[in-house]
Amino acid sequence: MPDPADAIEAALSERFGETVAVDPGLPGLNELARLAAHRVHRRYTGRAVPDDLVRLLCACALSAPSKSDLQQADILIIRDRERLGAIADLMPEMPWLRDAPVFLVFLANGRRLPALAEARQKPFPNDHLDLFFNATVDAAIVLATFLRAAEAVGLGCCPISVIRDHAAAVSAMLALPPKVIPLAGMCVGWPAEPGGISPRLSLGTTLHEERFDDADVLAEVDAYDRRRHAARPYRQQRDPDRFGRAEFYGWSEDKARQYATPARADFGAFVRAKGFCLD
């Protein structure tokens, strides 16, 4: 086992391309080492993930903080291979979904609160964007906490927001009622390979001191593109028929190409049809 302070420094250096100081006397370094070394896993061994373990991890995830204690995040567990297969059929570009021993769906639940208002015979003048936003944020925090809990016991996970490309179909398959929407799915299994650290934008780009400053963003992104390309070059270029073949293909080119095609333009309509008010 490498010293946790050294492991954190090595992981963060790979992640951000710079040295972040670590005091070796800090408590909790093993947990920080796990966070620093995070990676998603998209390939799993055939080993089953026990039901009790999934329940334990969900309970830990649902222990996350919740805006105003409103508790608007739910988790839906899918183990049934047929049901998972039907969801996987919708997104053949992500075969890891079908192979996941367990698949979870993290839900933003804006339904309980108005139901409580009705049961307690109170007005509910807060049926606006904030209800949707709070429920979504709670669900995102629970998702991230689940990931952390799962990684602590050695499981590998991959969040799946592509289920929102098929939000209405997934919602119907899972019997999601009005004001309950899927935030993202999550493949969970025992990793089949170690995986690797995905470099992030420099701390100079995403960490601000005292006041927001993105004056150097393009230069920072350019440097990131090159650092990332050296460590993890893209294997394929996106949409070469439309955009041609770039001599240097970095992260910013990939993300610009990705967002040059409309995606989920109907998601707002889905959320409204589910009964959320976005005004």
Q: Are strands 156-160 and 73-78 parallel, antiparallel or unpaired?
A: unpaired
191-210 residues in contact with ligand FMN (CB under 6 A) are: 198
CB 39 → ligand FMN: shortest distance, Å?
A: 4
Task: Establish if 39 lies at the interface with ligand FMN (CB under 6 A).
Answer: yes
User: Position 245: which residue type?
Assistant: R
Q: If we measure between CA atoms, which residue out of 223, 270, 269 comes closest to residue 250?
A: 223
CB 165 → ligand FMN: shortest distance, Å?
A: 8
Task: Establish if 257 lies at the interface with ligand FMN (CB under 6 A).
Answer: no
3-state DSSP: the chain helix, strand, coil percent, rounded to 5? Answer: 45, 10, 40
Cβ(163)–Cβ(93) below 8 Å: no
CB 215 → ligand FMN: shortest distance, Å?
A: 26
CA distances in angstroms from 100 to 37, 119, 154, 192, listed in the order given = 22, 39, 15, 11
Part in contact with ligand FMN (CB under 6 A); list of ranges 34-42, 56-64, 221-229, 255-263: 34-42
One residue of 5, 40, 62, 77 binding ligand FMN per CB under 6 A: 40
Q: If we measure between CA atoms, which residue out of 103, 99, 119, 100 comes closest to residue 111?
A: 119
Cα–Cα distance, 85 to 80 (Å, whole number): 8
Part in contact with ligand FMN (CB under 6 A); list of ranges 113-121, 154-162, 212-220, 237-245: 154-162
CB 208 → ligand FMN: shortest distance, Å?
A: 21
Task: Establish if 162 lies at the interface with ligand FMN (CB under 6 A).
Answer: yes
Q: Which is nearer to ligand FMN, 117 or 168 (CB)?
A: 168
One residue of 32, 73, 113, 160 binding ligand FMN per CB under 6 A: 160
One residue of 7, 29, 73, 158 binding ligand FMN per CB under 6 A: 158
Part in contact with ligand FMN (CB under 6 A); list of ranges 16-24, 39-47, 52-60, 75-83: 39-47
Cα–Cα distance, 222 to 229 (Å, whole number): 11
Query: Which pair of structure tokens corresponds to residue 83?
Result: 């049901």
Part in contact with ligand FMN (CB under 6 A); list of ranges 33-41, 209-217, 223-231, 270-278: 33-41
Q: Which is nearer to ligand FMN, 70 or 90 (CB)?
A: 90
Half-sphere exposure of 248 (CA within 13 A, CB side): 12
Query: Which pair of structure tokens corresponds to residue 113?
Result: 């609160």
Burial of 86 (0-12, 13-18, 19+ CB in 10 A): middle
CB 137 → ligand FMN: shortest distance, Å?
A: 12
Q: Which residues bind ligand FMN (CB under 6 A)?
A: 38-40, 42, 94, 158-162, 184, 198
